[in-house]
Amino acid sequence: MNTVATLLVGVVFGLALAAPPGPMNAVIAEEAVLRGWPAGTRAGLGAATADFLFFVLAYLGVVSFVQSVPRLQTAMIGVGGCLMCYFAVGTARDARASFRPTTGEDPMVEDGKGFRKALALALTNPFQVLFWLTVGVGMLRPGELDVLAPLPLVGDGLAGALVVSTGSPALLGGFFLGVLSWVTLFPVSLAAAEKRIQAIGPVVAVGSALVLGGFGVYFLYDAATAVLAW
C-alpha cells in the first residue's frame, strides 16, 4: 500500500511541475494548435528530457554545486530570460503567419523545432532549475515524507495517514509518469479544441508570445538586479 501511495504522490509531484501556466506550456500550446498534437507532444518531450537531465545531474551532485554558486544561478536566469524573449518574437511571427490561409504543405512545420525550443528553454528555465534545487533534491534523498501533516488546521489529525518513501523508485517513477501524462494529454486536448474553433490557433500563439515575453523580461530584470547587487 505504501508503494502505491508513493507512486501516486510521485504522479502528483510530476503534474505539479508540468501543469502550471508558464513558458513551457506556452511552447507546448503554440506547437499543438499551430502544427498539431504530435508537434505539441514533441515539445512536451523536450521539456521532459530536460527534467530527466536535471534528475541525472541532481543524482550526481551537480545540482548541489549549482546551488552553492549564486553567480552561476544568476547567469542561468539571464540566459533563460534572453531565450524566452527570443522565442517570444518567433512565436509572434508564427501567430501572424497563422492568420494567412495556406495551401499544400504547411510551411511552418519543422520536425524537431518544438522539441529543441522546449529543451533549450527548460534547461535555462529558473522555475525548473529551482524545483530541482529544492523539491527535486528532496525527492532523491532516502527518507520518509508525511504528505498531509503540513496542512493547516487539519494537519495534526491527518499526520501519519499518507507517508511516502523519498528516494524510492516508486516516487521517481510516479513523478516522470505525471510529467509524461501531462505533456501527452495537454497538447491532444488543445489540438482537439483548435479543430472545433479554428480561430483558437492565432489566439493561443499570441498568448504564448505574451507569456514567453513576460517571463523573459521578468527573468532579465531579476538577473540584472542580482548583478547590480554584487
Q: How far apart are CA 194 and CA 210, in angstroms?
A: 19
Phi-psi region of 36 (alpha: psi -120 to 50; beta: other; left: phi over 0): left
- 209 Cβ contact partners less than 8 Å away, ≥ 6 residues apart: 88, 89, 91, 92, 95
Give residue-wise pLDDT tens across range 42-61.
Answer: 999 999 999 999 888 888 87
Give residue-wise pLDDT tens across range 83-118.
Answer: 778 767 776 776 555 544 444 444 444 556 789 888
Q: Report DSSP letters for 96-157, one per residue.
A: HHHTS---SS-TT--TTHHHHHHHHHHHT-HHHHHHIIIIIHHHHSSEEEESSTTSTTTHHH
Give residue-wise pLDDT tens across range 163-176.
Answer: 667 778 888 898 89
Phi-psi region of 104 (alpha: psi -120 to 50; beta: other; left: phi over 0): left
Provide the angle, in degrees to the nearest 10, between the axes of the packed helices 70-98 and 23-35. 20
C-alpha cell recorded at residue 73 = 544561478
Identify the weakest region by mean pLDDT among 68-82, 95-109, 160-174, 205-219: 95-109
Identify the weakest region by mean pLDDT among 51-55, 72-76, 137-141: 137-141
Q: How many domains does the chain have?
A: 1
Report pLDDT for 163: 66
Residues 72, 206 contacting (CB under 8 angstroms): no
pTM value is: 0.68
- Given pLDDT bands bounded at 50, 70 and 90, which one contains residue 202? low
Task: Kindly tell me if the per-residue pLDDT of 147 is higher than 70.
Answer: no
Give the structural domain span for 29.
2-228
